[in-house]
Structure 1
Amino acid sequence: MDYLKSVVPSQFMADRGSNLVVIIPGSANVRIGLAAQQVPLNIPQCIARHIHSNGENQGAATLTLQDQMLNMQATPAQQLEREKAYDIIASLLKIPFLDEKSANNSFPRKTVRLDGSKPQNSRNDSTFTWTNVMEKNHKLPVDEDSEAKDVKRESLDQAKGFHGDPSSSAHVFRDYICGEEALKIPPSKPYRLRRPIRRGHLNISQQYPLQQVCEDMATIWDWILNDKLHIPQAERTMYSAILVVPETFDTRGISK
């Protein structure tokens, strides 16, 4: 451990080789990449799994978020302390209260955005695209003629923006979706969004056990290695990995 804290990165790469993967997990994102890269990948550390239901309730399932919520209820004493803190901050920043009259200025006070952003009508927002949650059903037997027709139909569907028909046996829901795509799943789709790490802790609860948390984290990292870093499982024996845990992370979850 002392060696990892004091070693120079160039010396560490010389000892371990250039095929070194650095993983820095976080509550919202995971930074991962090869040590030789200057900028790592910053990917949302979340996964959405398909909710399998029977035929009767299949249409009723929607996107849900499985998370351990914080207790946001405050006692009257805590609420009073918060109000006092707000007043102190406002006085230090010289922010007048809404009911306070300006004695030195007869003009009406203007309201502006405190975040410095421009009004929405002047922004050029890009078009938001929902994630395509459907994929081809590879379990169905196909011949060459039908496969050629499917390729032609798929090209036409992409041109029309078709995202698959759930009632069609040729398309099925994807078992899981990771990263940024998981955050863009339509609310009407039967998926459950999960974050393995929340607020520096493993997001363990009665509805989200430790085994499922570890499986989801392993699935997310495996997906990143395959799709983002292009390191298939057969070639991973030629790579080394180092896990960098932030100091704010709960150390009880490191051994898991």
Structure 2
Amino acid sequence: MAIISNTGQKTYKSDLQGAFETLQVQRSDLLGMVLDAQLASRLLIVEEARRLRSDVNPDDPRVKRYANASKSMLQRVAALEVEVQIANIRVPPVTKTETLLQGRITDEASKAAAHVQVTLIDEAGKPVTGVAPATTDASGYYAFILQPAQVDAIGANRKLTLQIGSDSGKLVPQASKPFSLTAGQMTAHETRLQAGELDKLKLRPAFTDVVTEAPKPRTAPSKSTPKAAKKPDNEPEVKPVAAKRKR
């Protein structure tokens, strides 16, 4: 944890930034701990349900309750994964005259599309001159920091949009809406890519849940008494020998 020393106006801004960064790190750590606890609890529930099916009774009502609890935990895990990604975002500092265009590129479940190129394009579909493409981080976050001269060159009424991907595969997402920039202000967008767009960009995340096939219930033993093996006709009959009594 950061130690904040109040030394007056000179360090006020840096002290405040340090405190805010500490809170962000703590939030990320706590969310990660909750996520790990949910995963561990689900493993225990799945294992107990498997034990009941195989060793006790496949129709035990607890098996169904454990299955429902496992599904609920998976939903919480998915939500926590998104929260951890958002908590790890660090918005770059900008001055009063700079313009910040930021956002996230995600799939339809709000999970990050990481390390993908984002290009600012105009109405004609051409990259805006003088603005280099940005790349999303592990949280799907991107940021363009534009100087006043860049915003003036673009124009206040010019409609812009985002192009996702590089020359090997790129597209304008269907969910992307045209927007304009205002000098000195922040603009934020969250763009969700559909399944077909993820496939085209080869960005479909491998968020597959590992499902282990449940063991089949053991077959109940037959109630019929097995017949004794038939002795061969030529085998002599062996009579039990009576034990001698001790005197």
TM-score (norm 1): 0.22
TM-score (norm 2): 0.23
Larger Rg, first or second structure (1 or 2): 2
Higher relative contact order (CA 8 A, sep 6+): 1
